[in-house]
A and B are shown apart, each in its own frame.
Chain A
Amino acid sequence: MIELLMRILVYGATLSGIYALIASGFTLIFGVSRIMNFAHGAFFILGAYFGIALIHGIGLNPYLSTIISILMVGLLAAAMYKSIISPVREHEVMVIIVTLAFALIVEQVILLTFGEHGISFPSVIEGVVIVGTVLIPSMRLFVLAVAIIALIMLWTFIGKTRLGKEITAASQDAEAAMLIGLDVGRLLIVTVFISAILAALGGVLYAQVYAANPFIILKSLIFAFAIVILGGLGSVKGSIIASFIVGYILTAMIVLYGARWSELVALLIIIAILVLRPAGLLGAKEL
């Protein structure tokens, strides 16, 4: 029994950490701009594909390719915001349509370029660690550590830096932020950049443990969306908590009851929680 619990603890933590990276970025954009960015799943997997292309195309090492690929995704996201979201920002439905269209275009481009089957991101760490009698791939522990460090950095950035505080101010009241002289437009671009970087990092880590494939775009978007709703739209803290809830439900279902219904049950539990707490775990507007 202890072995089973250990397995759920470790395997659930890896999945949760990756979910937390993508969901926190998704909710960050919503918190600041009230934009539902349906292209977020594309940023998630583009991080992995850019990295794989840099490794196989020009022979970069996995560490350097990770840094360059997530920066590339961040810049792409900022450019996308400026060119196609910003002009229609006031129309919520239009924002959903253009971001969803962008995600579908990315999916098709990946399909045509890399094919429909998964591609692995070369693992930076190999082997397994044995804790008691539980076998844990070292890569899982590495991913968990990187995800936690990235989330702590995000937390520190939002809470401790001037730019982070300005983003918080803009998320609480954009008009008031403008009145006190903050450049909300610039803050939005910075927020989109940071969100995309978090998603791309999640994608790179995901492709190290699993593999990148174009259909992850939609799946990751669905899970990110569900987690963000569960955590409370706009709440980074809520999203992180919700990520761990969802990650652990999924892993516990697989370990205890089998893989068949794991994702379905996880989504049903999310719905059940939302029936009890319609605003999500931590409600809106709290970064």
Chain B
Amino acid sequence: MSKRKISRREYLKYAAAGVIVAAGAIGGYAAWQSTRKPLEKDEIIIGVLAPMATRQGSVQRDAAALAIEEINAAGGILGVPVKMVVGDDKLDPDAAVSEFRRLVTVENADVLTGGYSSGIMAATMEPMAELKTVFLADASSPAHPAKVAEDYEKYKYWFRITQNNGASFAFDMADMIDMLREKGVPVDKIYIIRDEHVWADDVEKFFNPLLTERNVEVVKNVKIPRGYTEYEPLIIEAHDLGAQVILPIVALSGTGDVLAKHWATLKLPVLLAGHDLAALDLGFWEKTEGACNYYIFIADGGVVQTAPPTAMCANFIENYKYKYGNPPEAHQGYGAYDAVYLYKMVIEEATKAGEANPLDSDTVVKYLEKTATLENPVELTRNIAFYPPGDENKWDHDLAWGDKYVRNLISEWIDGKWYEIWPEDKANAELKLPPWFK
């Protein structure tokens, strides 16, 4: 076979053609790149997993839906539309675990928000770790951040966004005692009524030294089981023992309404002031037929609906009312709304920094840690910051507590409305004592 020689002219011709093709290809690629979305996805999927038969669960679904609707109306996250998928944990750990798996593996959720019960949260942290899925969560037990602290690589995907660590109630209740004393209420003897549950032990671990510092005597500490209703004998006993304050630390007993009713019926000169999850219900006044008047309590989650702490919070409440006909039914709504916006912010930050895969869970964790810091909290409906890994209290990835961040506000039911009465600079009402308290 004879070889044909390529002439110089032919060589230049082919070379020129090659350059033109290559230039075309590069130009085409550049043009494609300019129209391509920065995220390699057709949609970003946010999962909401919560007990949907409760207002604490359904409010998370509705608040996340509102945030997603707003984000999509403004062009999505970097041009990619956001979709919501919902799971119901039915307040059952088995259901919660299987729903978590379904949302991630079947519905392809990129991130999850939700939760409510601490026990169920502990269970769902396992599939979260296994599936390496970021979970912007609710619940209040100190056990959850402790897991992150003890095995960071495994549990680092967990961040608590809805409310503070339950142990922080101790700080707020100590402030409550200081506030009462400042307002002229002599608090030196208190009667504690608390859940027979480990979460109240965690609160007391921090609370007892604060009481000792303040020379406050606990005349009796009564542990009550779930569903307990016989409060009248306890209230009478508190009065007989000389307590000025009955201090509830209750959530799981679920009968704070009965406590308020019995207290209002007896009208003994003893205040009712503490933490009671039942009181954090916009319908509490109606449900107790007004018996909760003058009930002083800690508002979890950093928002009292009548005194929104940020402009975004005020907008959220208004938009929620417009869409659903009423304000957010529980404080978990603020957490879910913030979770969606914070996730958007983090994805945008990661993309801007040139991360290869901004949606990757490890990348999201890195940017959550970098974005919502103690030094620079993110203003959403509240000021969100997370404790960094290696926190001295083992509150790693927990929602930061304090005036600069989120704290459980001291509030009171007064004449049919739920008001914030402390800290003073944010309060929208003055403490009002019951007329029978002298």
Contacts and interface: CB of A to CB of B under 8 A. Distances in A.
Interface of A: 7, 11, 15, 56, 108, 111-112, 115-120, 122-123, 126, 128, 135, 137, 139-140, 210-211, 213, 215-216, 219, 250-251, 254-255, 258-260, 262-264
A213 B254 contact: yes
B329 to A, nearest CB: 9
Contacts of B258: 118, 210-211
Contact of B227 (A112, A117, A139, A215): A215
Contacts of B291: 120
Given A7-B233, A259-B225, A259-B228, A115 B54 contact: yes
Interface string B222-236: 111101111011101
Nearest to B54: A116
B261 interface: yes
B223 A259 contact: yes
| Residue among A111, A255, A264 with max Cβ neighbours from chain B (10 Å) | A255
Contacts of A213: 254-255
29 contacts: A7-B233, A11-B230, A11-B232, A11-B233, A111-B53, A115-B283, A117-B281, A117-B287, A118-B257, A118-B287, A119-B257, A120-B288, A120-B291, A123-B265, A135-B266, A137-B265, A137-B266, A210-B229, A210-B261, A211-B258, A211-B288, A213-B255, A215-B227, A255-B237, A259-B225, A259-B230, A259-B234, A260-B222, A260-B224
B254 A116 contact: yes
B55 interface: yes
A128 B254 contact: no
A121 to B, nearest CB: 9
Interface string B44-56: 0000000001110
B289 interface: yes
A139 B291 CA distance: 14
Interface string B279-290: 001011011110
B147 interface: no
Interface residues of B, number: 36
A7 B257 CA distance: 22
Contacts of A264: 225
**What 4 A-B pairs are tightest by C-beta distance, nearest first?**
A118-B257, A210-B229, A260-B223, A119-B287
A120 B287 contact: yes
Contacts of A250: 230
A211 B265 contact: no
B180 interface: no
Given A120-B261, A120-B287, A215-B254, A254 B233 contact: yes
Nearest to A108: B53
A260 B45 CA distance: 46
A139 B266 CA distance: 11
Contacts of B283: 115, 117
| Residue among B55, B225, B268 with max Cβ neighbours from chain A (10 Å) | B225
B278 interface: yes
A219 B227 contact: yes
Interface in B220-267: 222-225, 227-230, 232-234, 236-237, 254-255, 257-258, 261-262, 265-267
A155 B180 CA distance: 54
Nearest to B53: A111
Contacts of B55: 115
B369 interface: no
Nearest to A115: B55
Given A123-B289, A260-B222, A254 B230 contact: yes
A117 B266 contact: no
B379 interface: no
Contacts of A254: 230, 233-234
Nearest to A264: B225
B225 A117 contact: no
B196 interface: yes
Contacts of B223: 258-260
B27 to A, nearest CB: 61
A251 B222 contact: no
| Residue among A108, A213, A251 with max Cβ neighbours from chain B (10 Å) | A213
Contact of A118 (B225, B232, B255, B265): B255
